[in-house]
Amino acid sequence: MHVWGSVSSLTLTLATPSKPNKVNEYLFSFTSPSTPTTLSLPATVEWAIELDIEANKTYYISIVDNLATFLTAGMTVNDTT
C-alpha cells in the first residue's frame, strides 16, 4: 500500500498483469487538502460507487482487476470533536 500525504493532484498508471489468470491489485491512500484533490486514473478503471473527492478528507482506494472501491475518513472544517 502506498501512502501519500496531502496532494493537490495524483495521476497513476497501472501495469498490465504479467501472468495469465492473474489480476493486479493496488492499494493507496491520500489526503485531500483544502481544495479537493484531482485524481487521474486510466480509463479502464471503473468505480463500484462514483468517487466525489471532498476537501480535508483522507481516501483509501483499492483497485482490483480495474474495479475501484474506496473508503473515506476525515473531519470537515466546522467539526469540533
d(CA 67, CA 53): 17
Cell of 26: 493496488
Cβ contact 52:25 at 8 Å: no
pLDDT at 4: 95
pTM attached to this predicted model: 0.84
Task: Give the pLDDT confidence of 16-55 residue by residue, as tens digits.
Answer: 888 888 889 999 999 999 999 999 999 999 999 999 999 9
**Using alpha carbons only, how large is the chain's radius of gyration in Å?**
14
CA distances from 5 to 17, 30, 42, 72 (A): 28, 5, 22, 14
Enter the DSSP assignment of 18: S
Give domain limits for the chain: 2-11+23-73
